[in-house]
A and B are shown apart, each in its own frame.
Chain A
């Protein structure tokens, strides 16, 4: 008995080991707080850098579209409008396309192997760098669709959205390339939400005689809706911040136009284009634009997370 106690005492942990344990834990703590520091740092730095422009133009910056470094007059309305229009319209096309694809992947129209292949094709699309999509858009999509745009203008020219003569790069191309970028996000999140709907619901609907699509529209889609909504919001955030492909294809013109067939601008393409060679108060104005973009995407993202938290674990 005595001996055992001594053994037990001898196996007490050394002080140094305890210290290592504490150091390890605190290092991990510090490393995890880096995220918060970086996030706050980004918000503060961009805010303070934009302060000069903010105090000079105030909220007028958001609604005027003059961007003139010579006269030192700055307003980002064209870019903000471009950001909102391209992201919302591209989302409008992506949602039915992505949800339709997700339904195809989760239903059993074709054998599982085929569905998995299509699913991974769509997901691999997300891995393509956006600059490569931009290159593709410039040299393949734009020449391919040029005649279509001319046709669009000649037949629907009376609609303000198609009222300008198409000349090369334009906002509509940016919207189409955004669809390609958003499709994997919407599809994979919609697929995950469909997969999370319990089988019981589907069987119950079939049991009372609903057809397949009646089941999808009245049971499965409503049950998966919150997940899909969150995915759509995440995609919206991505669309607003997307830079390279859009910058390469949108035409980068600050002249405001309602038409989608004229060259446009987005906040991120404005930053990509002008940041490198800007000086003086233009830098501050660009930071102001960056701040607007950041707030937009933060709001969308936080709302998406709130939605996920609020509606997940329903089943």
Chain B
């Protein structure tokens, strides 16, 4: 009769309890870093936010008086990320269109898909090394060595696999009925793709691309010897071909400075970087959840 009831003392029940506790502990440990990190950045970086921060140039380290602002780095990050997006989005979306719409699962498309996965796994610093060898050391860009443009190209290599993957997967989710319907009423292939399949996959592609851009904005390794760093305002188009600062490199450089003022600037920069990246991510998550809900109805 006893065996019908839950027996606490049974070794299997004790073992079960033990492992449940273990997994709860794992989950708790796993959530701690984000909570600690974000609180610390909010407190330490948030207290540094002043209007001057957005308007001034950073002062070169050396004295502990005033570190200045992060204007050039902020603008630089926007410019470098835009250059990367301008290169990676058309190439990636075009490549994704080929993989999802035209290829018939042959050797070529399998090779490209494999290549996309391999490229996604290439360490980010290797992209920097590659662009250094190809563009910086050869001075191929109008004789300029380190430049914001070279940095943008290096970042675009890192964005490319993400964009192709999301386009490919987004288009694959579009039901074939839509394509048949469009082709059936006499539309050509490119009209079908541009007017039917891309618009219906637009949201998922856009979400993936925006997440890719957010990821690229925080990348540092490909920039440290392609775009380098600059303390001065970006004033015109010509500055694209000179050294350009970015938030990520500013954090790296100033975190390693022995001066407190520069360290504080690094915290302020990471506050802005983390806040914008996290809000993009959370927004994309909410959008994706919302999409799923509307699909079910």
Residues of A participating in the B interface, judged by any CB pair closer than 8 Å: 11, 13, 17-18, 20-21, 24-25, 27-36, 38-39, 41-42, 45-46, 49, 96-101, 103-105, 107, 109, 118, 120-122, 124-125, 127-136, 138-140, 180, 183, 187, 211-214, 216, 234, 237-238, 240-244, 248, 268, 271-272, 275-276, 286-287, 290, 293-294, 297-298, 300-302, 304-305
Q: Which 9 A-B pairs have the closest CB atoms?
A: A241-B123, A129-B218, A100-B26, A31-B94, A32-B95, A301-B121, A28-B98, A24-B190, A243-B221
Say whether, besides A45-B133, A243-B221, A294-B126, A132 and B99 are in contact (CB < 8 Å).
no
- Pair B29/A97 contact, Cβ less than 8 Å: yes
Taking a contact as CB atoms closer than 8 A, the residue among A122, A132, A133, A305 that contacts B31 in the complex is A122
Say whether, besides A25-B189, A34-B95, A122-B30, A45 and B134 are in contact (CB < 8 Å).
yes
Judged by a CB distance under 8 angstroms, whether B180 is at the interface is no
Residues of B participating in the A interface, judged by any CB pair closer than 8 Å: 12-13, 15-16, 19-20, 22-27, 29-31, 33-37, 40-41, 90-92, 94-99, 101-103, 109, 111-112, 114-119, 121-130, 132-134, 157, 160-161, 164, 186, 188-190, 193, 214-215, 217-221, 224-225, 228, 248, 251-252, 255-256, 263, 266-267, 270, 273-274, 277-278, 281-282, 285
- Pair A268/B125 contact, Cβ less than 8 Å: yes
| A275 closest partner in B (C-beta) | B225
Query: Smallest Cβ distance from B74 to chain A, in angstroms?
Result: 15
- For A120, what are the chain B residues with a Cβ–Cβ distance below 8 Å? 285
- Pair B251/A131 contact, Cβ less than 8 Å: yes
| Given A97-B26, A129-B219, A139-B255, 17 new contacts (CB under 8 A) | A17-B188, A41-B130, A46-B129, A97-B29, A99-B26, A100-B22, A100-B26, A101-B27, A109-B23, A109-B24, A129-B220, A241-B122, A243-B220, A276-B224, A287-B133, A290-B126, A290-B129
| B217 closest partner in A (C-beta) | A129
**Bound-state Cα–Cα, A18 to B186, Å:** 12
Query: Smallest Cβ distance from B15 to chain A, in angstroms?
Result: 6
**Bound-state Cα–Cα, A50 to B1, Å:** 77
Say whether, besides A122-B31, A242-B123, A32 and B274 are in contact (CB < 8 Å).
no
- Pair B118/A124 contact, Cβ less than 8 Å: no
| A115 closest partner in B (C-beta) | B27
Say whether, besides A107-B23, A121-B35, A180-B33, A32 and B130 are in contact (CB < 8 Å).
no
- For A129, what are the chain B residues with a Cβ–Cβ distance below 8 Å? 217-220, 248, 270, 273-274, 277
Say whether, besides A33-B112, A128-B37, A183-B30, A244 and B90 are in contact (CB < 8 Å).
no
| B194 closest partner in A (C-beta) | A24
**Bound-state Cα–Cα, A211 to B10, Å:** 11
Q: Can you identify 17 A-B contacts, CB atoms within 8 angstroms? A: A24-B189, A35-B95, A35-B115, A36-B115, A39-B115, A46-B133, A97-B26, A98-B26, A130-B218, A132-B41, A132-B274, A244-B221, A268-B221, A275-B132, A286-B129, A300-B121, A301-B118
| A293 closest partner in B (C-beta) | B123
- Pair A38/B160 contact, Cβ less than 8 Å: yes
Taking a contact as CB atoms closer than 8 A, the residue among A97, A99, A135, A214 that contacts B267 in the complex is A135
**Bound-state Cα–Cα, A248 to B27, Å:** 27
**Bound-state Cα–Cα, A101 to B26, Å:** 5
Residue from B122, B266, B274 having most chain A Cβ neighbours under 10 A: B122
| B134 closest partner in A (C-beta) | A45
Say whether, besides A118-B30, A130-B220, A39 and B90 are in contact (CB < 8 Å).
no
Taking a contact as CB atoms closer than 8 A, the residue among A41, A104, A234, A248 that contacts B121 in the complex is A234
| A245 closest partner in B (C-beta) | B220
Say whether, besides A33-B112, A100-B23, A131-B252, A305 and B117 are in contact (CB < 8 Å).
yes
- For B115, what are the chain A residues with a Cβ–Cβ distance below 8 Å? 35-36, 39
| A179 closest partner in B (C-beta) | B33
- Pair A101/B23 contact, Cβ less than 8 Å: yes
Taking a contact as CB atoms closer than 8 A, the residue among B19, B22, B220 that contacts A131 in the complex is B220
